[in-house]
Amino acid sequence: MLLDALRVRGLTLAVAESLTGGLVTARLVDVPGASTVLRGGVVAYATDLKATVLAVDRDLLDRHGPVHPEVAAQMARGVAVVLGADVGLATTGVAGPGPADGHDAGTVHVAVHVTARAGDPTTDAHRGLVVVGTRDDVRAAATDAVLQLALDVVGTREA
């Protein structure tokens, strides 16, 4: 459904993933015809890659670590720029089983960035969630959340 919404609007997509480790991109490429919209994905699991590859502010990472709403937002913007896409998605958080970076397992931040074009403003959206369950449950919920957030954001733009 997201890919259809993007296709109708003539928008391209890029994905930056941390805790989901490629699940979002894999879910998208399971859909026949995904290549007409999806430019690619970056799995930036290590914190330093968020800065060097996705242009996340190093001071932000030093102050708050990788599990933060603004880190997710900057990942989404960064992947859109790096991969030349209109829309960027991002996931970051702690999948578990235990805490990491001062956050409990199940802490998730997802973000969507839509670059301004054709009279539409730039749109940035974030959703934070806390998922109770296994590591697989957390990663699946993060994947669902970022895809739904993207559909919510893209669905409000003119076709």
List, for residues 104-137, the tens digit of each pLDDT value. Answer: 999 999 999 999 876 778 899 999 999 999 999 9
- Residue found by looking up tokens 């990491």 in the block: 100
Using pLDDT thresholds of 50, 70 and 90, give the confidence band for residue 31. very high
Rounded Cα distance, 110 and 120, in Å: 22
pLDDT of residue 159: 61
What are the strands of the beta sheet with 87-93, ordered from one edge? 38-43, 13-17, 87-93, 107-114, 123-130
Q: Count of alpha carbons within 13 Å of 87, Cβ hemisphere only?
A: 27
Beta strand spans in the chain (E): 13-17, 38-43, 87-93, 107-114, 123-130
For β-strands 38-43 and 123-130, DSSP reports them as: unpaired
Rounded Cα distance, 112 and 127, in Å: 9
pLDDT of residue 126: 97
**This prediction's pTM:** 0.96
Domain boundaries, the chain: 2-155
Q: What is the mean pLDDT of residues 75-96?
A: 98
Rounded Cα distance, 45 and 95, in Å: 12
The fold of the 2-155 domain, in CATH, is Maf protein (3.90.950)
Rounded Cα distance, 141 and 52, in Å: 27
- Give just the sign of the alpha carbon dihedral 99, 40, 8, 32: negative
8 A C-beta contact, residue 104 and residue 94: yes
Whether pLDDT at 100 is above 70: yes
